Structure 1
């Protein structure tokens, strides 16, 4: 009997990781970590799980169907972008001026830009900073609107990122 339990446990341990890869994320599960670090196995999954836990993105993603956690959530990805930009506005503006940073790359992930384009995303927002943040009164909603306009006109990012502009739909 004990031998059957061991065999069943071994089979389950082999099947569970396969099902998570089929879902588009690794052993760490869905969330920001899976979007940034992907589904490759190994030590990357530890960092993915840490990222998910640190930002609460997995819980948020499961609840709202975002962050690689499915598409049947209560709110859509554009709403998640708005909330993120509003909650992280000050840091985001500073990082946009620098062209790099954790919040900026998270925003790129929320636009579903592949990780290999995050540096180009940072360069673009740094170059277009004066168009994105017009003055001290620019709101997070206005910032995202301007960002989406710049993304839509960027030769590479327009093709690789998900820009859901109402004007283009």
Structure 2
């Protein structure tokens, strides 16, 4: 499941906008301007989490995450890293949800990212893709979190 997100990190959905209100509003329209407006609307309306969990707004409930986790990490890596170093926070919680980690396992995920911070974020120039790969590698050896890796 998580490996699928990494394998698909370089490919977005055909319309490049993911799912959410903006995707619904600009459905059928094409072009860079419309894509930017759709993504911006998705971002400022904070509705993708709702859409993913409810299966609405062009999102599929329980769908394998493709580019969403990678996109979120790329756009929020500094905050995710800060939350990981602190053992929790909103950005890390959102990443856990995008990786389809059960709510019951969030505390284990938060603790794991704090404990393995140096392996996940080994240098200041680590890329978002590398950090996600490192996260998956560390989770693979964890009793609870290994079930979220391929």
TM-score tier, shorter chain, comes to 0.5 to 0.7
TM-score by length of 2: 0.62
Q: Does residue 1:65 correspond to 2:59, yes or no?
A: yes
After the TM superposition, which residues 147-166 of structure 1 pair with which residues of structure 2 at under 5 Å, given as runs? 147-159=135-147, 161=148, 163-164=149-150
TM-score by length of 1: 0.55
SS of 2:66's partner is helix
Q: Name which one, 1 or 2, has greater alpha-carbon Rg.
A: 1
Distance in 2, Cα, partners of 1:106 & 1:59:
12
The ranges of structure 1 where at least 4 consecutive aligned residues each deviate by more than 6 angstroms after the TM superposition are: none
Q: Does residue 1:88 correspond to 2:82, yes or no?
A: no
Distance in 2, Cα, partners of 1:101 & 1:144:
17
What is the count of residue pairs matched by the alignment? 107
* Equivalent position of 2:47 in the other structure: 56
Closer, same or farther: CA 116–82 of 1 in aligned 2, 3 Å:
same
- Backbone CA RMSD of aligned residues: 2.8
Tell me by how many angstroms 1:58 deviates.
5.2
Unaligned runs of 5+ in 2: 1-19, 21-43
Instruction: Tell me which of the two structures has the higher relative contact order, counting C-alpha pairs closer than 8 angstroms and 6 or more residues apart.
Output: 2
Deviation sequence 1:34-60 (CA, Å, 0-9, x none):
xxxxxxxxxxxxxxxxxxx85221586
SS of 1:88's partner is helix
Unaligned runs of 5+ in 1: 1-30, 32-52, 165-169
